[in-house]
Structure 1
Amino acid sequence: MMERTYRFKRRGWRIIAAASLAAGVVIGPLGGLGPVASHASSHREAPLTAADPQIDATDLYAFVSPDNAKSVTLISNWIPFEGSDAGPNFYTFAPGVRYDINIDNNGDAKPDIIYRWVFRNQYKNPKTFLYNTGPVSSLTDATLNFTQHYTLTEIRGTRTTTLVRDGIVAPSNVGAASMPNYSSLWNQAIYTISGGKTFAGPADDPFFLDLRVFDLLYGANLKEVGNDSLKGFNIHALAIQVPTSAIAASGDATKNPIVGVWTTAERQSVQITSKTGNASSNGTFVQVSRLGMPLVNEVVVPVGSKDYFNASQPKDDAQFLGAVTDPELPHLINSVYKLPVPATPRSDLVSVFLTGVKGLNQPANVKPSEQLRLNTAIPPSATPNRLGVLANDNAGFPNGRRLTDDVVDVELRVVEGALTGSKNTLGDGVDANDVPFQASFPYLALPHAGPAASPVATTTVKRVNNAGAWPVATGIAGAVALLALLGWALRRGGPGQSGKRRMNAAA
């Protein structure tokens, strides 16, 4: 058997027989924008993750739960630019990968608590190409051919506790014909854990921005700003809600209210593809993705260090200090809009990105490191402002990050000196998500549906026995849905089956 072996090494990223992994190199963060799927928060932000979207962390959120102020909600999103018409092989988490949400509750830049999700795939019938073989109303329906299952563990030092065993990921929103009550399916994927909840599955991408802000800041042409480039796209989300005391140092959220959060993914170091097309992996786990504060690896870390940053640990972030104290972005803004470049070194940016803001979310004896820091003692705002702390709403970014926080506008203004007295109104013109968020955990909006979301014509086909009509899109996803329905109809005694029975009876 011929085998190809891929070896990933931390730091150097030596890759043997895997040149294709580097084929998706992204243009530098301040270069011209090519295809629409190029840059956003942490979407396709580095060469390796651009070529391996299942381990590409897109966004991280951490906030005091708006409907339960004694709890904290953490959300890490993965797989950028998921099109809704992706059948029959819809997007999934990567089996065997360790997806982690890391929490530092004492300011030493090391994880004190890790929430870890690990997934496996399951097909009920591997001899069909269909994702579902008929309408689905439950996560355990026989008609839901493909499911992903996961184990969620909590790691505290050497102690590991299983929170969810054999959980089921919410399925992709195939369409109204296949999943007539998708919201019910989605909610079935919310699991109760000790003192909290968790969810894994697809959702609308909550991040919002006009990607052309990366096209040299529109090239000074502001006539067409304000188009949400992520409108209609989905992601895969990992969400967990836990009591604040569960993540505070010594379990005391009153004395120790500040936590730092970042998310990572780890793959095994050796990936093997056999001559028969089967894939397997072995070896030690190495970190291949990392995300804390939004847009850091996107527009702060230079392109030659992006994969290296994704493999690095917060405790070693002193090596990236220069990119923060004298960032490239203000110089670009100056070249396009002639706004003055704030004086360096940028201690204001160090506080936002590396230490937390003193008096807001900076822990005592903090070791500078890139994390999303949250002061859990600040209650949710009754009237959240998208600009967070810049608008005197201290419950918002950069004190944690809520789904509604406009981090692009905030960071553009901060990088131009908003915290040092240089007031400005920079922004991308997109102030909110394209669809509203939900009022309860996991707060994300439902994922966009397949055929229903497609800009293609639709038609209808009669159900068996004239029992109404199915809406069917004329695109690929519509064809898949139609085939699924026809297969289901035949198994239930459709025209072909009943005709066969009549012929047998006549014989």
Structure 2
Amino acid sequence: MKKTKILMAAALLGIATFVAIAADHIDAPAVAGGTSDITDFYAFRGENTSNIVFVASVQGLLSPGNTAGASFDENVMLEINIDTDGDNVEDLVIQAIPRDGQMYFFGPTAPSQTGLNTNFSSTSTTNAGVVDITKYGESAIVKETGGMKFFAGPRDDPFFFDFNQYTAIINGEAGGFNSPGDDTFSGSNVLSVVVEVPKSMIGGSGTINTWVESKRKQ
């Protein structure tokens, strides 16, 4: 399990008025390149302003040409955690679980237990949906169920970062970033799950903390 690094600081702002972004593409050797490796997490107001969109991506730096080697791991669940009362403990979760070419979503629902260990919520929630995982070269498959929308599949990496210039700055070889700089992740893909949820399903005071975890079946 890994939480993305800057999310909690970003999530202290009101979800209705900002885009929360956390990114972590290049990890330590022990976890880099794994099927549970989280790259990005985004939370933002939907085009329908009564909705919130959550986007979680895994398996960064995928080559678009390596279509056979990029797939969701059926032993890994992505869990979006939502804290509605400011105590930094999840009050609601949305779980995404791949099976046989489809992504199953459960929630938002109250978790049976909080923290690192998690039980599947499939037996305890009426909020659920399933969508076919979009394959490389296909148009995006989006499914709408119960006021929620779902997507899962490969996407062009949306995160812009000039890693070489960053390294030069850290090493004292440069004084700042160039404009616009070089996009280190240009031409690479990630595997993304997207769920759009009515705010009425989230509740709370209007401000939430949110983070994502990847959890491997034990």
CA shift, 1:120, in A, is: 2.3
Q: Distance in 2 between matches of 1:120 and 1:193?
A: 18
CA distance in 2, matches of 1:119, 1:75: 16
The answer to whether structure 1 residue 168 and structure 2 residue 149 are counterparts is no
- Structure 2 counterpart of 1:57, which letter? I
- 1:46–1:223 Cα change, 3 Å: closer
In the other structure, the counterpart of 2:195 is 240
Q: Which residue of 2 aligns with 1:149?
A: 102
State the 1:201 CA deviation.
Answer: 0.8
Q: Compute the displacement of 1:222 (Å).
A: 6.4
Find 1:261's aligned residue among 199, 210, 216: 210
Structure 2 unaligned segments of length 5 or more: list them.
2-21, 113-123
SS at match of 1:170: coil
| Structure-2 residue corresponding to 1:212 | 164
Report if the CA contact (8 A) 2:166-2:177 is conserved. Answer: no
8 A contact 2:23–2:41 mirrored in 1: no
The one-letter amino acid of 2:194's match is A
Deviation at 1:206, TM superposition (A): 0.7
Query: TM-score, length-normalised on structure 1?
Result: 0.34
For residue 61 of structure 1, what is the aligned residue in structure 2?
42
Distance in 1 (alpha carbons) for counterparts of 2:177 and 2:80? 40
Residue 48 (structure 1) shift: 3.2
1:404-483 to 2 correspondence within 5 Å? none
How far off its partner does 1:164 sit?
1.6
**Looking at both structures, which has the greater relative contact order when contacts are Cα pairs under 8 Å and sequence separation is at least 6?**
2
Matches within 5 A, 1:122-141: none
Structure-2 separation of matches of 1:213 and 1:111: 37
Q: Say whether the 8 Å CA contact 1:248–1:259 is kept in structure 2.
A: no
Match in the other structure for 2:62? 82
* Structure with a larger share of its residues in helix: 1
In 1: Cα distance, 2:189 partner to 2:165 partner: 21
**Paired residue for 2:118?**
none
Task: Report if aligned partners of 1:151, 1:162 keep a CA contact under 8 Å in 2.
Answer: no
- Whole-angstrom CA distance in 2 between matches of 1:234 and 1:160: 32
The structure with the greater share of residues assigned to strand is 2
| CA deviation after TM superposition for structure 1 residue 108, in Å | 1.2
Aligned to 1:49: 31
Give 3-state SS (helix, strand or coil) of 1:161's partner.
Answer: coil
| 2-structure distance, mates of 1:104, 1:223 | 35
The count of aligned residue pairs is 183
Match of 1:55, SS?
coil
**Distance in 1 of aligned mates of 2:81 and 2:110:** 10
Q: Secondary structure at the match of 2:208?
A: strand
| 1:240 CA displacement | 0.8
Q: Match of 1:47, SS?
A: coil
Q: How does 1:101-500 map to 2 (within 5 A)?
A: 101-121=80-100, 148-154=101-107, 155-158=109-112, 159-161=124-126, 163-165=128-130, 167-173=131-137, 182-183=138-139, 186=140, 189-217=141-169, 219-220=173-174, 226-249=181-204, 256-268=205-217, 283=218
Aligned equivalents of 1:44, 1:220: Cα separation in 2? 21
Q: Is the 8 A contact 2:165 2:177 kept in 1?
A: no
What is the CA-CA distance between 1:228 and the residue it aligns to?
A: 0.8
Amino acid at match of 1:94: D
**What is the CA distance between 1:204 and its match in structure 2?**
1.0
User: Equivalents in 2 of 1:245, 1:213: separation in Å?
Assistant: 43
Root-mean-square deviation (CA), in Å?
2.3
**Please, which of 51, 54, 63 is the counterpart of residue 71 of structure 1?**
51
**Which 4+ stretches in 1 moved above 3 angstroms?**
221-225
2:191 maps to amino acid: H
Structure 2 length-normalised TM: 0.76
**What amino acid maps onto 1:200 in structure 2?**
A
Q: CA deviation at 1:50?
A: 0.4
Contact kept? 2:86, 2:209, Cα under 8 Å: yes
Query: How many angstroms does 1:161 deviate by?
Result: 3.2
